[in-house]
C-alpha cells in the first residue's frame, strides 16, 4: 500500500472518530447517517483490499462507542466470576476440595446442575412485587451501570410477573447475547457476537439497542427475599414458569464421569447451536450446601466452569526470548513461525520457565505442538523429536538479567521445600528497567488504580519518552507534551486527565495491591487493609516490628512477611510509597458486615474439629461478624479447642483468662446465628 493511501486511511479513521464522539458522547450527530455509513464502508473497503486492519478501525473496535454516562449502582449481592477447569483432573480436585471443606465422606457424590456457559454479557434484573425496576450490567462485579431502558427492549425479559410464588423482591441474573443467525447480519460491524451484544447493551440510545436483536437467558439470582426453592434445578424450572427463557441443555448430573461425558457431548454439538458457548458450568445443586460452601475472593466454591478444549497447531521455534515480569521472573517465550490456531495468528508461545524447557527438552529449531485455549496465552505442549535436525540448538538460560544485567537466581521455597522452577532477576524492583515497566503496568491495571486510557502500550511509550519512571510520575504528567504526540487528540488527552484524577481516590486494599509487592495479591491486600485500616498504619510498616504484627492475620505467613520486609527495606519503594501517600486519598474502609453472634469477636482454633473442616469453621465465624487469628494474645475473645490441641496455646489462653470453648460450645453459639 502506498504511503499516500495509508495517510488517507488514517485521516478517514480520525474523521470517523470525530463523528463517533459527537454522536455517542455529545448525542449530537454532525453528519447524516448516510455520510457516516459511507465513510465507514470506505475504511472497511481499504482494509479488505489490502488485507489489514488497525486497532482504531470500526472492524476491530466495538461498533458503537459505549458512553460513560450511565449511572452506577452497587449490586446488593456481588456479581462474581467462576473458577475454570480444563480437564477431568481439575474437576476431581474441585470436588475433592468441596468434600474436604464440608468434611464429607471421601466418596460423597454431589448432585450438580450442569448448564452451558453462554458467551455473552451478564446482567442483573431487579424485580419488586413482580415489576422490573432496574437492570444493571456486571461492571466490576461490585458496581454495575444502570442499563434498564436498554434491557427493557429485549423481548425475552419480562417486564412484569404475576405468579404468586415469585419472590417479593429478587435480582434475576443471566446472559444477554446475540444469536448466531442474527449476528451474521451485522457481522461486518463487530469483532464477534459478544462484542456486538456488549456494544448494543451499552448504547445511550435504547432505540439503537432495539435494532440489534438481543436475547436473554436466565440462570441465577442475586439479592432475594423469601426464595423458596431448595435446589438450583428447581429454581431454573421456576424461572421457566415465571416467563424467563432458560437453556434447554440444562441437566442435573452426579459423578465426575458423567460430567465429562455431558461436556464432550455438548462440545461436539457446540457449533450447531444458535449461540456461542465456551464451556459448561457445574453448580452444586443443593442450595444449603452452596450456602455452606460460600465464596472465595472472586468466585463461589460451589461452582466451576469447565472450558471447552483448546485448538492445536504445529510450527517451528525460530528463537527463544526472555521476558522479565513484574516480580523479576524470567519467562522464556518461543518466537515461532506464525501459525493460524483456531482463527488467530500465533507467533509467540510461552515456555513457562527454565525447568519446563529442560523437562520437555525444547530447543531452537524444533518442531512443536502449540495449544491456544480461549484468552489464555498460547503454550508449547510438546516437541516432535523425530523431526529434530542437527541444526537444533539447546537453549542456555541466561545467568544475568537481559534487562539490567543483574545476576539471576533460583530461590528456595520454604513451604514446598524445593528450589523454585522460576529463575528471577535479583534486582530489587525499580533498579531493573523491565521490572519497572511491568510494575507501572500493574499499578494502572484494572484491579489496581484502574486508569483507563493508560494501557500497556501507552505505559511503554511514556516510559520510552521518559514521561514516567515511577508510579507517582503518573500524577505529574505534562499533558501539553502528550497532546503533541501522534494519535493524541484533545479528547483522548482530556479522558486520560480525567481518569488519572478519578484514580486518586481509592480503597486501601487496591493501593496495597497496586504496589505489586510479591506474594501480596488482591486477597492478601484485602486482609492486610482490613487489619491496618488506614494508610498511616501501612506506611508504618517501614518499622520491621510492625510487619511482624501482620503474622496475626489468618492467611498471612512467613512468605508474605519476608516479602513485605524486603519491599520496605528498599529505599526507592519507600520513597514511591510515601510520595503516593501524599497524592492519593483513601476511601474509608467499608466496615465489613460484622453483625452476628461473633460480632467483633476474635477467635482462634487449635486441634482438629470433627465433621467440620477448619475452612468451614472460619467461614462460619466470618459470616457471623467475627475474625480468626493464628496467635494467642490478649485481644483474643475465644480459643476453640478440637482434638489434640496444642497445650502451650491453652496454657497461654488460661494465663490471659481467655474464654475457652470446645467444639460443641462453638457449634451451639454458631447455631444461634442461623
Ligand atoms: S453462574 C457466582 N451460570 O459466566 C457465579 N454464569 O465466569 C454466577 N455465565 O459472569 C454465574 N453462563 O456471565 C452462571 N449458566 C451460567 C452461565 C454463567 C454464562 C457467565 C456469566 C458470568 C461468567 C462467569
Q: By alpha-carbon position, which residue is closest to atom 24 of ligand 1?
A: 81
Check: CB of residue 428 under 8 Å from CB of residue 404: no
Determine the pLDDT at residue 66: 41
Quick one: 94 and 227 in the same domain? yes
Report the number of distinct structural domains present in the chain.
Answer: 6
Quick one: 514 and 482 in the same domain? no
Q: By alpha-carbon position, which residue is closest to atom 17 of ligand 1?
A: 117
Query: Ligand 1: distance of its center to the CA of 224 in Å?
Result: 18
Which numbered atom of ligand 1 lies nearest the CA of 303?
5
Q: By alpha-carbon position, which residue is closest to atom 22 of ligand 1?
A: 81
Quick one: 560 and 496 in the same domain? no
Q: Do the strands 367-372 and 379-383 form a parallel or antiparallel pair, or are they unpaired?
A: antiparallel
* Count of CA atoms in the C-beta half-sphere (13 A) of 138: 14
Cell of 490: 484533545
Supply the CATH number for residue 17's domain.
1.10.287
Best probe residue, ligand 1, of 77, 84, 122, 193 (max atoms within 8 Å of C-beta): 122
For residue 117, indicate whether it is catalytic: yes
Question: How confident is the prediction for the chain on average, in pLDDT?
Answer: 90
Query: Ligand 1: distance of its center to the CA of 227 in Å?
Result: 20
Domain boundary residue among 307, 322, 337?
307
Q: By alpha-carbon position, which residue is closest to atom 21 of ligand 1?
A: 122
Supply the CATH number for residue 441's domain.
1.10.150.20
Determine the pLDDT at residue 35: 81
3-state secondary structure of 222: strand
Which numbered atom of ligand 1 lies nearest the CA of 115?
15
Quick one: 568 and 635 in the same domain? no
Quick one: 167 and 264 in the same domain? yes
Q: Under 8 Å CB-to-CB from 581, ≥6 apart: which residues?
A: 535, 539
Q: State if residue 253 touches ligand 1 by the CB under 6 angstroms criterion.
A: no
Query: Ligand 1: distance of its center to the CA of 81 in Å?
Result: 7
Query: Ligand 1: distance of its center to the CA of 304 in Å?
Result: 9
Residue 65 confidence class, pLDDT cut points 50, 70, 90: very low
pLDDT in tens, 402-421: 999 999 999 988 777 899 99
Q: State if residue 197 touches ligand 1 by the CB under 6 angstroms criterion.
A: no
Supply the CATH number for residue 165's domain.
3.30.470.30
Q: State if residue 220 touches ligand 1 by the CB under 6 angstroms criterion.
A: yes
Q: By alpha-carbon position, which residue is closest to atom 9 of ligand 1?
A: 117
Which numbered atom of ligand 1 lies nearest the CA of 305?
7
- Distances, alpha carbon 646 to alpha carbons 493, 518, 639, 662, in Å: 61, 32, 11, 14
In-domain check, residue 59: no
In-domain check, residue 69: no
Query: Ligand 1: distance of its center to the CA of 80 in Å?
Result: 8
Q: Under 8 Å CB-to-CB from 439, ≥6 apart: which residues?
A: 326, 429, 430, 471, 516
Supply the CATH number for residue 327's domain.
2.40.50.140
Query: Ligand 1: distance of its center to the CA of 136 in Å?
Result: 15
Which numbered atom of ligand 1 lies nearest the CA of 250?
15
* Beta pairing partners, 534: none
Which numbered atom of ligand 1 lies nearest the CA of 138?
10
In-domain check, residue 78: no
In-domain check, residue 77: no
Which helix (DSSP H) or strand (DSSP E) does residue 178 occupy? strand 169-178
Supply the CATH number for residue 638's domain.
3.40.50.10190
Q: Do the strands 131-137 and 585-587 form a parallel or antiparallel pair, or are they unpaired?
A: unpaired
Asked if pLDDT for residue 469 goes beyond 70, the answer is yes
Cα of first residue to Cα of last residue in the chain, in angstroms, is 71
Query: Ligand 1: distance of its center to the CA of 219 in Å?
Result: 8
Strand positions, DSSP E, 442-564: 505-507
Q: State if residue 113 touches ligand 1 by the CB under 6 angstroms criterion.
A: no
In-domain check, residue 202: yes
Helix, strand and coil in the chain, % to nearest 5: 40, 25, 35
Which numbered atom of ligand 1 lies nearest the CA of 175?
13
Quick one: 347 and 219 in the same domain? no
Query: Which residue range(s) make up the domain with 31?
Result: 3-50
Quick one: 133 and 254 in the same domain? yes
Q: By alpha-carbon position, which residue is closest to atom 10 of ligand 1?
A: 81
Sheet holding 251-254, edge to edge: 83-85, 303-307, 277-284, 111-118, 251-254
Residue 42 confidence class, pLDDT cut points 50, 70, 90: confident
pLDDT, greater one: 180 or 271: 180
Determine the pLDDT at residue 72: 87
Quick one: 184 and 254 in the same domain? yes
- pLDDT, mean of residues 453-479: 96
User: Active site residue: 40, 61, 117, 649, which one?
Assistant: 117
Say if pTM beats, i.e. exceeds, 0.95.
no
Determine the pLDDT at residue 59: 62
Quick one: 90 and 180 in the same domain? yes
Q: State if residue 511 touches ligand 1 by the CB under 6 angstroms criterion.
A: no
Q: State if residue 217 touches ligand 1 by the CB under 6 angstroms criterion.
A: no
In-domain check, residue 362: yes
In-domain check, residue 66: no
Determine the pLDDT at residue 64: 43
Asked if pLDDT for residue 63 goes beyond 60, the answer is no
pLDDT, greater one: 221 or 191: 221
Asked if pLDDT for residue 628 goes beyond 60, the answer is yes
Query: Ligand 1: distance of its center to the CA of 135 in Å?
Result: 17
Determine the pLDDT at residue 482: 96
Which numbered atom of ligand 1 lies nearest the CA of 300?
2
Best probe residue, ligand 1, of 94, 175, 216 (max atoms within 8 Å of C-beta): 175
Q: By alpha-carbon position, which residue is closest to atom 23 of ligand 1?
A: 81
In-domain check, residue 64: no
Asked if pLDDT for residue 371 goes beyond 70, the answer is yes
Quick one: 439 and 361 in the same domain? no
- pLDDT, mean of residues 455-468: 96
Residue 61 confidence class, pLDDT cut points 50, 70, 90: low
Q: What percent of the chain has pLDDT over 70?
A: 94
Domain boundary residue among 276, 307, 338?
307
Determine the pLDDT at residue 205: 74
Among the listed ranges 106-120, 418-432, 584-598, which one has the minimum average pLDDT value?
Answer: 584-598
Query: Ligand 1: distance of its center to the CA of 236 in Å?
Result: 14
Best probe residue, ligand 1, of 114, 117, 223, 251 (max atoms within 8 Å of C-beta): 117
**Distance (Å, whole) CA 566 – CA 532:** 19
**Distance (Å, whole) CA 661 – CA 641:** 6
Residue 320 confidence class, pLDDT cut points 50, 70, 90: very high
- Distances, alpha carbon 353 to alpha carbons 250, 332, 358, 379, 434, in Å: 40, 6, 9, 11, 17
Domain boundary residue among 556, 586, 616?
586
Quick one: 91 and 156 in the same domain? yes
Strand positions, DSSP E, 299-400: 303-307, 311-324, 330-341, 344-350, 367-372, 379-383
3-state secondary structure of 78: coil
Best probe residue, ligand 1, of 77, 80, 81 (max atoms within 8 Å of C-beta): 81
Query: Ligand 1: distance of its center to the CA of 117 in Å?
Result: 6
DSSP category for residue 23: I
Q: How many CB atoms lie under 10 A from the CB of residue 666?
A: 22
Quick one: 341 and 296 in the same domain? no
Residue 213 confidence class, pLDDT cut points 50, 70, 90: confident
Check: CB of residue 425 under 8 Å from CB of residue 408: yes
Amino acid at each position: 500500500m502506498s504511503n499516500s493511501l495509508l495517510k488517507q486511511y488514517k485521516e478517514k479513521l480520525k474523521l470517523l472518530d470525530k463523528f463517533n464522539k459527537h454522536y455517542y458522547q455529545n448525542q449530537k450527530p454532525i453528519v447524516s447517517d448516510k455520510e457516516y455509513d459511507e465513510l465507514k464502508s470506505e475504511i472497511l473497503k481499504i482494509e479488505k483490499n489490502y488485507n489489514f486492519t488497525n486497532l482504531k478501525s470500526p472492524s476491530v473496535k466495538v461498533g458503537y462507542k459505549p458512553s460513560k454516562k450511565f449511572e452506577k449502582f452497587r449490586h446488593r449481592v456481588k456479581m462474581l466470576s467462576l473458577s475454570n477447569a480444563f480437564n477431568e483432573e481439575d474437576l476431581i480436585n474441585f470436588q475433592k476440595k468441596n468434600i474436604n471443606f464440608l468434611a464429607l465422606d471421601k466418596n460423597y457424590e454431589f448432585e450438580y446442575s450442569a448448564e452451558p456457559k453462554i458467551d455473552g454479557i451478564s446482567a442483573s434484573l431487579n424485580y419488586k412485587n413482580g415489576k422490573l425496576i432496574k437492570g444493571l450490567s456486571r461492571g466490576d462485579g461490585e458496581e454495575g451501570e444502570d442499563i434498564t431502558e436498554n434491557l427493557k427492549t429485549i423481548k425475552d425479559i419480562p417486564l412484569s410477573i404475576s405468579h404468586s410464588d415469585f419472590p417479593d423482591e429478587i435480582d434475576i441474573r443471566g446472559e444477554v447475547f446475540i444469536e448466531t443467525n442474527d449476528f451474521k447480519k451485522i457481522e461486518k460491524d463487530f469483532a464477534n457476537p459478544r462484542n456486538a451484544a456488549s456494544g448494543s447493551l451499552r448504547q445511550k440510545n435504547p432505540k439503537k439497542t432495539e435494532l440489534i436483536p438481543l436475547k436473554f437467558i436466565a440462570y441465577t439470582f442475586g439479592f432475594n427475599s423469601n426464595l423458596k426453592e431448595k435446589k438450583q434445578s428447581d429454581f431454573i424450572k421456576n424461572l421457566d414458569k415465571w416467563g424467563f427463557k432458560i437453556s434447554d441443555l440444562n441437566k442435573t448430573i452426579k459423578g465426575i464421569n458423567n460430567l465429562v461425558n455431558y461436556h464432550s457431548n455438548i462440545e461436539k454439538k457446540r457449533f450447531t447451536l444458535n449461540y456461542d458457548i465456551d464451556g459448561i458450568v457445574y453448580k452444586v445443586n443443593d442450595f444449603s450446601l452452596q450456602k455452606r460452601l460460600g465464596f472465595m475472593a472472586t468466585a463461589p466454591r460451589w461452582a466451576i466452569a469447565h472450558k471447552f478444549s483448546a485448538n492445536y497447531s504445529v510450527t517451528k521455534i525460530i528463537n527463544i526470548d526472555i521476558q522479565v515480569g513484574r516480580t523479576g521472573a524470567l519467562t522464556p517465550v518461543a518466537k515461532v513461525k506464525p501459525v493460524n490456531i483456531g482463527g488467530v495468528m500465533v507467533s509467540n508461545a510461552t515456555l513457562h520457565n527454565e525447568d519446563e524447557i529442560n523437562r520437555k527438552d525444547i530447543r531452537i529449531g524444533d518442531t512443536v505442538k502449540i495449544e491456544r485455549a480461549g484468552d489464555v496465552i498460547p503454550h508449547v505442549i510438546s516437541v516432535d523429536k523425530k523431526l529434530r535436525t542437527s541444526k537444533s540448538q539447546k537453549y542456555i538460560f541466561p545467568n544475568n538479567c537481559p534487562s539490567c544485567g543483574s545476576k539471576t537466581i533460583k530461590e528456595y521455597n520454604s513451604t514446598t521445600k524445593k528450589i523454585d522452577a522460576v529463575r528471577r532477576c535479583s534486582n530489587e524492583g525499580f533498579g531493573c528497567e523491565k521490572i519497572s515497566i511491568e510494575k507501572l503496568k500493574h499499578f494502572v491495571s484494572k484491579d489496581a488504580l484502574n486508569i483507563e486510557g493508560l494501557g500497556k502500550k501507552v505505559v511503554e511509550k511514556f516510559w520510552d519518552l521518559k514521561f514516567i519512571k515511577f508510579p507517582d510520575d503518573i500524577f505529574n504528567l505534562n499533558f501539553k507534551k502528550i497532546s503533541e504526540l501522534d494519535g493524541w487528540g484533545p479528547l483522548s488527552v482530556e479522558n486520560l486527565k480525567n481518569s488519572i484524577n478519578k484514580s486518586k481516590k481509592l480503597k486501601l486494599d487496591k493501593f496495597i495491591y497496586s504496589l505489586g509487592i510479591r506474594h501480596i495479591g488482591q486477597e492478601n491486600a484485602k486482609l492486610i487493609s482490613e487489619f491496618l485500616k488506614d494508610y498511616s498504619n501501612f506506611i508504618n510498616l517501614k518499622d520491621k516490628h510492625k510487619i511482624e504484627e501482620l503474622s496475626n492475620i489468618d492467611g498471612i505467613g512467613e512468605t508474605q512477611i519476608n516479602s513485605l520486609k524486603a519491599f520496605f527495606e528498599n529505599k526507592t519503594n519507600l520513597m514511591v510509597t510515601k510520595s503516593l501517600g501524599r497524592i492519593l486519598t483513601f476511601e474509608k474502609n467499608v466496615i465489613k458486615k460484622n453483625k452476628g453472634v461473633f460480632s467483633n469477636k476474635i477467635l482462634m482454633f487449635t486441634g482438629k474439629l470433627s465433621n467440620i473442616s477448619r475452612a468451614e469453621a472460619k467461614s462460619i465465624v466470618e459470616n457471623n461478624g467475627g475474625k480468626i487469628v493464628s496467635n494467642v494474645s490478649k485481644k483474643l475473645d475465644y480459643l476453640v479447642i478440637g482434638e489434640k490441641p496444642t497445650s502451650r496455646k491453652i496454657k497461654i489462653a488460661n494465663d490471659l483468662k481467655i474464654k475457652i470453648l470446645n467444639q460443641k460450645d462453638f457449634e451451639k453459639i454458631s447455631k444461634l446465628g442461623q
